[in-house]
Chains A and B, each alone.
Chain A
Amino acid sequence: MADVDNILDEDEELSLLETLDHVIDHGLVIAGEVTISVAGVDLIFLGLNVLLGSVETVERVLGERERRVELLLGMVPRAALAPKTAAGGGPADEGE
């Protein structure tokens, strides 16, 4: 554990915050391979620019994209796409 030379009183809390600050926001990233859970909500980081969103949202968007591709290729009837796209919304919440 890195030692924290601090001027505040909350040593342990501060130490944890410093750790959080370092390990969550920085470091090597393999695209699409960072998955964490915050307060029971699963989050996924995609790529080096840190696109952050819930796994559920990302899966829904990727699913929609796949269905659109299938539609373009004539693999599924158009009616199959309609109810799925009604949910709308952007891909995922953008992080920094």
Chain B
Amino acid sequence: MSLYVYCLGDELSESAFGGLTGVCGAAVRVLSLKGRLSAVVSAAPAEPVAVSEENLQAHNRVNAAALAASTPLPFRFGTRAAHERLAEYAATNEAALAGALARVRGTVEMGVKLLSKAEGEGRKAEGGSEGGPEDLASAEAAVGRGTAFLLKKRREALGGEEARLRAEGLAAWLAEGVAGLARESAVWVSPSEAIVVRAAHLVGREGVEEYRARLRGLRAARTGLRLLASGPWPPYSFSEISGQNHPR
């Protein structure tokens, strides 16, 4: 029988999920696997699980219920496996899973996204840095077509470098802002995208309120920035056992 799998832990109790339904409305239960390891599962539907609002919320609702009692390792949405396969996975990776559970014990994941409000406006305000047709025409008149083209390319390259430095500066600013509270961080920097910095922080449960207060302080300090905070989440960004959780 194929099972839909929500999370894995060593402190999971059936009582945390009393009456809770999961993906596709199936009843949720705790399945013992290996040693103290157990998983939260429900009967898997015959078809691949649709990425619908209902199913996404159900997946996270079950993991949130687990998180309310202890910190589990959440599985990625759509994970399904036969009981035997799941038991084999737990047995094969027992030490790594125990290590991962120890790493997240007593913590929750908090998320932050930084969006630059003044990205477009800032560029316009600088004047002459857009490299538009009019700029190019006037530059051509002054220095010649080839030189104007190369000057435009130079400006674009410098602009990209500037954006990268700015994004990395924001990431460093955020890291400094939550220093001492974020036990671990996973940070993704995307200078050319609307969300310039995405960060996940592993925060001790006792530090969540102070973490939020710090973020409020950071938000107030930079009004030209949109700071979007979410959490607490099960440690989705800190659960993989391959060592690939930290892009940087």
Chain A residues within 8 Å of B, Cβ to Cβ: 1-8, 14, 16, 18-30, 33-38, 42-45, 48-49, 55
Contacts and interface: CB of A to CB of B under 8 A. Distances in A.
B183 interface: no
A22 B56 CA distance: 10
Contacts of B76: 23-29, 34, 45
The DSSP consensus for interface residues of chain A is: mixed
B240 A27 contact: yes
Nearest to B237: A26
A35 B242 contact: no
B184 to A, nearest CB: 13
Nearest to B212: A5
Interface in B220-248: 226-233, 236-237, 239-242, 244
Nearest to B244: A48
B197 interface: no
B157 interface: no
A36 B200 CA distance: 24
A36 to B, nearest CB: 4
A16 B56 contact: yes
Contacts of A33: 5, 79-81, 85
Please name the 10 residue pairs, one residue from A and one from B, whose CB atoms are nearest each other, closest first.
A36-B78, A27-B76, A26-B236, A23-B77, A37-B48, A35-B48, A48-B242, A33-B81, A4-B230, A22-B236
A2 B228 contact: no
Contact of A28 (B49, B233, B239): B239
Given A1-B57, A19-B60, A29 B79 contact: yes
Contacts of B85: 30, 33
Interface in B1-34: 5, 7-8
